[in-house]
Amino acid sequence: MTDRARWALTALTGVLAVAAFFPVLWMVTASLKPRDDVNDGRLVPHDVTFGNFAYVFTEVPFARYLLNSFVVSAVVTVVALFLHSMAAYALARLRFPGREALFTVIFSTLLITAPVVLIPLFVVVRQLGMLDSYAGLIIPSIFNAFGIFLLRQFYLQLPRELEEAAIVDGCGHWRVYRSVVLPLSKPILSALAIFFFLANWNSFLWPLVATNDPDLTVVQLAISSFQSQYAASWNYILAAAVVAAAPMLVLFFGFQRQIVESVKTSGLK
């Protein structure tokens, strides 16, 4: 490739990247504008105010909503990773009859994504008496074959000698899992942890149908109903939106490598 062509391609990529990023930037700067200026069409605010954020937090219990989202996302992430890594270890490393068939069954549930079975799931959770509770928000979100699948792919690549040695030393399977396999899976576990946290922090449809209680409102639901309440006050709506997005943006900049790795793994294997 000639230098000129390379330079042109770089410039093109840069322009497109800035264009793709522009809406996010626009949201953040608009949330810093006073009410009268929010539609002024400038990227850089004339007056910078944090009043919109103060208003959002005082007008509705946004801190509570953030806490709800945090608790739900964190618990789902931790429990899911624990259960999935155990199941994946067994599916990848232990030999037992029906292993491949079981994996195929688990894998095939990936094609049926949650929203499509939303109604029967709602009925099941209602029968279990878990509607309008943290359990109802948390437990159904744990079970997803995606994590099992990725972890199994990872465990298939581990050298067998490691666990053979441990077994010869008299370790049971639990010890092998706990002391050999888990420490080795740190990279994929941290990537998946961020991925799960992200997905649960951003989830909307399930909390929408599974909860009514204002005390259980998660942040995504909160901004959606905030929007209908404050219909035209874009400065407040965008401030609320920024508050909901901020933890993910911070997480993204902190753990970009892990997030990108988890996306890559999900596509490659």
Partner 1 sequence: MTLHGTARSQAAAPTTAKAAPGADGPGPRRRLGRRHREWIAAGLFIAPDALGLAVFVGLPMVLSVVLSFFQVSGFGSYEFVGLGNYARMMDDPLFWESMRITGVYVVVLVPLLFVVSLGLGLLVRQRVPGVGVFRTLFFLPYVISLVVVGLLWKFMFDDQVGVVNQGLRAAGFAGHSWLGDPSTALYSVIAVFVWVMMGYYMIIFLAGLQEIPREYYEAARIDGAGPWTQFRTITWPLLRPTSFFVLLMSTVAAITGGFELVFVLTEGGPANSTSLAIFYIYQQAFVFGEYGYASAMGTVLVLAMLLCSGAIFKATRGGRFDDDR
- Of 63 and 256, nearer to partner 1 (C-beta) is 256
Q: Is 22 exposed, middle or buried (0-12, 13-18, 19+ CB in 10 A)?
A: exposed
SS3 at position 57: helix
Angstrom distance (rounded) from CA 93 to CA 87: 10
- Of 27 and 71, nearer to partner 1 (C-beta) is 27
- Of 86 and 158, nearer to partner 1 (C-beta) is 86
CB–CB of 151/88 below 8 Å? Answer: yes
What's the min distance (Å) between Cβ of 134 and partner 1? 15
**What angle is formed at CA 142 by the lines to CA 69 and CA 60, rounded to 5 degrees?**
15
- Of 174 and 186, nearer to partner 1 (C-beta) is 174
- Of 133 and 224, nearer to partner 1 (C-beta) is 224
What's the min distance (Å) between Cβ of 123 and partner 1? 6
- Of 145 and 188, nearer to partner 1 (C-beta) is 145
Residue/partner pairs of 111-120 with CB below 8 Å, 24 or more apart: 114/144, 114/205, 114/206, 115/205, 118/205, 118/206, 118/209
What's the min distance (Å) between Cβ of 61 and partner 1? 18
Angstrom distance (rounded) from CA 187 to CA 92: 18
Angstrom distance (rounded) from CA 189 to CA 182: 9
What's the min distance (Å) between Cβ of 16 and partner 1? 7
The first and second tokens of residue 254, run together, are 């902190």
What's the min distance (Å) between Cβ of 189 and partner 1? 15
What's the min distance (Å) between Cβ of 51 and partner 1? 18
The first and second tokens of residue 64, run together, are 């509570």
